[in-house]
Amino acid sequence: MAKIDVILIHNVVGLGAETDQIKVAAGYARNFLIPQGLAIPMSQGNKRRLEVLRKRRSERETNDLNSMAELGKSLSKVTISLTVKTGEDGKMFGSVTSGTIADALKTQLDVSLDKKKIHLERPIHTLGEHEVELRLHAEVRCSIKVLVKSSNPLPEVSAGAGDDKKDGSREKRSSRNLLNKKESAEAAEEKPAKAAKN
């Protein structure tokens, strides 16, 4: 199969990044890469163009790095608040995922961030404050605080009502214990009496 040299002018997954010189099958280059505008054939004129493309790529990468570093600094100072549904015992229905956090960033801070850049080892299943790592760039990582709150308030147990219930249950238990002790004492007295009759 014939192979030809091409210069990529866009990132192509599985092949390479912009400005990479690669060898591909002639049919793949002729029928897909070149018509789609993803690559240009290798020639003397295109080699000169390659230098311009490399310069543009390096400028764009430094610009991306700087913008992500600034975004990381500003996001590390912010706390995002999420409200979730919970049961009467305070247990969450469902979980908070990276997609949920990305949506909250968009609505609360007007920051569009791909959910793949939000790193959660596992979804959040508990209420409270959590640290979430953001991988904004290969060289830029930061963390953001996520506060997970309940949409319905947790039932408050009044001190007096709880103590009454506890005292009542203690009284029941103690009266049961006394009855059991009396019955076991009576049974113990009956055994020697039966043994003496025999």
What is the full per-residue pLDDT of the chain (198 aa) written as tens digits?
789 999 998 888 889 888 889 999 999 999 999 999 999 998 888 888 888 888 888 898 899 999 999 999 998 899 999 999 988 888 888 899 999 999 999 999 898 989 999 999 999 999 999 999 999 888 899 999 999 998 887 555 444 444 444 444 555 555 555 556 656 666 666 655 555 555
Spell out the domains of the chain, with CATH numbers in brackets: 3-73 (3.40.5.10), 78-150 (3.10.430.100)
Of 103, 131, 124, 125, which is closest to residue 115 (Cα–Cα)?
A: 103
Of 34, 24, 154, 40, which is closest to residue 89 (Cα–Cα)?
A: 154
Contacts of 25-31 with C-beta under 8 Å, sequence gap 24+, read 25/1, 26/1, 26/2, 29/4
